[in-house]
Structure 1
Amino acid sequence: MTRTGRDVLVTVLGNGVAPLAALGTAPVLATSLEVTGRGATAAATAPLLLATALTSLGLPAAVTHVVARGSVTARRALATATPVAVVIGLLAAAVVGLVRNDLAGSDRQLGDLIGLTSLTLVPNLAAALLQAAAAGLRAWTLVALERTVTHGGRFVVIAALAWTDALTVPAAVLTIALSPALGALVYVRLLGRCPRSRAGGGRGGTTGVLLSYGVRVWLGSLAGTVLVRLDQTLLTPLAGTAALGIYAVAVSVSDLPTVVSNAVREVTFSSQSADNDPTSLGRVARVTTCATLLTCAALAAVLPFAVPALFGIDFSDAVPVAAVLLIGIAGSTPGSIAGVGLAAAGRPGLRSLSLGGAAVSSVVTLLVLAPGSGAMGAAVATVVGNAVSSLGNLVALRWTTDVPIRSLFGLRRGDLVSVRISTTRTRRKAP
């Protein structure tokens, strides 16, 4: 197995912890808190997750890109990006605190929880930067360990609280909000092993490099966040916490097939940034699409039985919602890999344009459908956004690179033989 194949395998294992932990946690939350309490938990944490992504300013992607290319050391990149993230995080936390009651749909207790979770925004941003540096250094074992601690620790605490009849909405919200800070402690080892100098430039040069890439990717980060997070943030005022409870369960179930594709995207971005290879990018897209399709089909077949058994009969309405989300995931995989290719090739602005169009179409669809259709309206909005983003990435990749669109579709005989999913020939050792 090649170095990249091992990286993908380790990252798949690390990524697998999150949905498996979510799958284990979701029934505990559903049975202990019921539909309304589950919806309140999602409503209290959704603004934090949204703000974390919105205020990153593209810095995590920039850190991964420049570290993988070897133009900036990981230590210097973190020293430059972290103060910016702290200032922006504090400002964003203040904004969330001011609008917390509006986000809570006039529920004062829920508003207080939203304000409380906003205080963990800065640690979450710092954790994202540390993970980005590890990805740039291809320290995928360390990343997998951090995800195990973050998501596994969250599951253990919530399960223990439920076992002792101490699980309440505030306890669940605080556990979810604080778990990234716990996982980030794993990266203390990374800081100790980072070289102090490698490729040139002073602090000013490092800032310019990071901001140049980060500004171009920022719009895409905002738009991507809208696609992933805004629906759960707006669903409470549009349709109520019960609808959000159904939707949260559907999302947690439908996220399972993304384990492999997310792992491939992360490894591909790092390794393609170091050594752009159009041939391997096409192979990655074809193999990943096939694996995602098979996983989505298998999961859709068991949804009608698994959801009521795991979450209770009250969550049966999540079955068709999850099925719609699975359709969107399966159909958007080639375009998602194409977006990674654009970003790794130094064209994140084009990927951002695709995501911007997707965000607009998703929000419009959500505002139109959610008030009357609830969770299903949010699912349809997500699928529409994914389709627009995928198509935009494919067209942009074809116009700006030597990668033909057809190379990203249709499994080939050679793909079945070459399970290594080789995205680069880079042999640089991980720290």
Structure 2
Amino acid sequence: MVRRAYPATADEVRVDAYSSQSVRRALGAVSMLWIATAVGALLAFVTQALLAREMGPTEFGLFASSLATVTMLSPLAGFGLPQYWLQAYGVEGWGANRWLRPSLRFVTASTLLTMLTIVVWALAGAPADARPMLLLLLPVVLGLLAVNLIGSQLRLEERHQALALWQLTTPGSRVLVAVLLLLIPSLSGQFVAAGFGLISCVVAVLAVPRLLAMLRGGIALHGHGPRPDAPLMQAAPGVGYLLSQSWAYGLEAALYPIFYQISTVLLKYLNGNAQAGIFGIALGIMTAIYLIPSTLYQKFLLSKLHRWAAHDQHKFWLVYRHGNIAMLVSGILVGLALTGVAPWLVPILFGEKYRPVVKLLAVLALCVPLRFLTTGVGSALLNERHMRYRVFAMGMSALVAVVLNAVLIPGYHEMGAAMATVIGEATLLLSLYAGVRHYHANGDGFSKQP
């Protein structure tokens, strides 16, 4: 070891102390978010287990496929606005307040259109048994929109404790519905759908005061210095211009649920409710696992990555490289653990009638390292040009998933859906990696921030 020939200066001591304090704060924030995510995943898991046990594969499959349908269409409400806020504030700082008023009009119009689309589908296109479920689950659109908008605000303010509590609101409330179903078995799946809808209404109402305060400039933006004494004199853009800037975020957000949920929906339509219920359990377990990388990147790092991409690219690429290594290693370990514990854990939690889930998880475990690495690789594609490519990659992957599900489900049923899901995940990872190579091979790739 080489020893210093002179003592550390006061400035160096202060820098070291600041760096140590920053690391401790970051670790504390990530730990808090992961704990909250773990608790939320556990609550969602318990809810799913109770519902599956009490409702049975057929009724649970009807409920799960109906919820998946509403969830697939929900991102049309807001259409990428929560994600675009992170990018706009990361680049413009306090100047991005100019986007708030057109955001209100944009959210209102897109939400009404989304809910109208679900109503029309429920009344004119959906099977008769799914119609009541879809209408009762309609408020889920409002709940998911509220969670995403307030989540973006709290990320921008780096209020990690509040974000951790906010993300527990929905899963913590939904478990009460499952407990009521357990205590009163005579209640039906429509009661569960109505309960989920009521919870979403309450979450939306809780979000309104925060959103109104933000629209009046009450955001405590972090990382861009103190609030300017005088408002920045920038003209507020129109709704059309906002759409032209955020459409890529919205389209990616709309394509992802299709890519991820289409298997459950097509199983209901091509095979029946019971098969959809079996696959819904497996997908619910995978959703809980995927919260591990999404917590780190979406809830903690995303607003920082936007800021670093614009103002500190050395730190950005350092986090990118180390993050990918960590994601690959942890994804492999988690996938192996899933394969090992599923054979004895699934029957205990869900009952013997759900044992086919074990075989599905043996196949879907291949998705774990793919998804973990995809999350890390995709973090290098942030700005408007990158988002257009991400839309292409997600659209191509969704198309692959839809086509393969349609081809494989009739012959292989749930296992065909699992195989289609694995191939879709691999397609998305390769597409995003190709995009990173293309945009960053001959330069930083961030030189043309919108």
TM-score interval w.r.t. the shorter chain? 0.7 to 0.9
Question: Partners of 2:442 and 2:362 in 1: how far apart?
Answer: 32
| Mapped pair 1:233 → 2:257 | no
| Mapped pair 1:376 → 2:415 | yes
Does the Cα contact within 8 Å between 2:293 and 2:372 map onto a contact in 1?
Answer: yes
Deviations 1:230-266 (A, max 9, x none): 2223321111110110011111122332232111221
| Mapped pair 1:31 → 2:53 | yes
Large movers: runs of 4+ above 6 Å: none
Greater displacement, 386-395 / 174-183: 174-183
Long gaps (5+) in structure 2? 1-22, 222-226, 310-315, 444-450
> How far did residue 345 of structure 1 move?
8.2
> How far did residue 74 of structure 1 move?
7.7
Question: Partners of 1:182 and 1:77 in 2: how far apart?
Answer: 26
Question: Partners of 1:282 and 1:209 in 2: how far apart?
Answer: 35
- 5 Å matches for 1:43-58? 43-58=65-80
Aligned to 1:162: 182
| Mapped pair 1:312 → 2:351 | yes
SS in 1 for 2:79: coil
- 5 Å matches for 1:4-403? 4-72=26-94, 77-100=99-122, 104=126, 106=127, 108-165=128-185, 167-184=187-204, 187=207, 188=209, 191=213, 194-195=219-220, 200=232, 202=234, 204-205=236-237, 210-266=242-298, 267-276=300-309, 277-343=316-382, 347-401=386-440
Deviations 1:343-395 (A, max 9, x none): 25862112222111111111110110112222222222221111111111111
The aligned amino acid for 2:106 is: V
Question: Partners of 1:72 and 1:38 in 2: how far apart?
Answer: 47
Q: 1:389 to 1:167 in 2, by over 3 A?
A: same
> How far did residue 160 of structure 1 move?
2.9
Question: Partners of 2:384 and 2:432 in 1: how far apart?
Answer: 13
The aligned amino acid for 2:278 is: I
Q: 1:99 to 1:183 in 2, by over 3 A?
A: closer
Q: 1:340 to 1:308 in 2, by over 3 A?
A: same
Question: Partners of 2:78 and 2:264 in 1: how far apart?
Answer: 19
Deviations 1:258-317 (A, max 9, x none): 232111221222111011211111111211222222122112101011111111111011
Question: Partners of 1:120 and 1:54 in 2: how far apart?
Answer: 13
Does the Cα contact within 8 Å between 1:358 and 1:385 map onto a contact in 2?
Answer: yes
Q: 1:399 to 1:183 in 2, by over 3 A?
A: same
The aligned amino acid for 2:56 is: E
SS in 1 for 2:282: helix
Q: 1:402 to 1:279 in 2, by over 3 A?
A: farther
Does the Cα contact within 8 Å between 2:397 and 2:428 map onto a contact in 1?
Answer: yes
Aligned to 2:3: none
Question: Partners of 1:291 and 1:315 in 2: how far apart?
Answer: 28
Does the Cα contact within 8 Å between 2:245 and 2:384 map onto a contact in 1?
Answer: no
Question: Partners of 2:146 and 2:410 in 1: how far apart?
Answer: 36
Does the Cα contact within 8 Å between 1:31 and 1:311 map onto a contact in 2?
Answer: yes
Does the Cα contact within 8 Å between 1:273 and 1:345 map onto a contact in 2?
Answer: no
Does the Cα contact within 8 Å between 2:57 and 2:277 map onto a contact in 1?
Answer: yes
Does the Cα contact within 8 Å between 2:101 and 2:236 map onto a contact in 1?
Answer: no
The alignment's TM-score, normalised by the length of structure 1, stands at: 0.84
Q: 1:223 to 1:123 in 2, by over 3 A?
A: closer
Question: Partners of 1:201 and 1:337 in 2: how far apart?
Answer: 37
Does the Cα contact within 8 Å between 1:325 and 1:379 map onto a contact in 2?
Answer: yes
The alignment's TM-score, normalised by the length of structure 2, stands at: 0.81
Question: Partners of 2:94 and 2:263 in 1: how far apart?
Answer: 36
Q: 1:324 to 1:182 in 2, by over 3 A?
A: farther
Does the Cα contact within 8 Å between 2:70 and 2:138 map onto a contact in 1?
Answer: yes
Tell me the number of residue pairs that the alignment of Structure 1 and Structure 2 aligns.
402
The aligned amino acid for 2:199 is: S
Question: Partners of 1:15 and 1:213 in 2: how far apart?
Answer: 31
The aligned amino acid for 1:124 is: L
- Specify the structure having the higher radius of gyration (Cα): 2
SS in 2 for 1:257: helix
Compute the RMSD of aligned alpha carbons.
2.7
Q: 1:189 to 1:119 in 2, by over 3 A?
A: closer
Question: Partners of 2:148 and 2:243 in 1: how far apart?
Answer: 17
Q: 1:339 to 1:201 in 2, by over 3 A?
A: farther
Long gaps (5+) in structure 1? 405-431
Q: Give percent identity, aligned residues only.
A: 22
Greater displacement, 326-335 / 191-200: 191-200
Q: 1:332 to 1:126 in 2, by over 3 A?
A: closer
Q: 1:195 to 1:7 in 2, by over 3 A?
A: closer
Q: 1:271 to 1:101 in 2, by over 3 A?
A: same
Deviations 1:177-235 (A, max 9, x none): 34344345555457475259757355633857743441232332232221122222332
Does the Cα contact within 8 Å between 1:45 and 1:117 map onto a contact in 2?
Answer: yes
Question: Partners of 1:201 and 1:388 in 2: how far apart?
Answer: 45
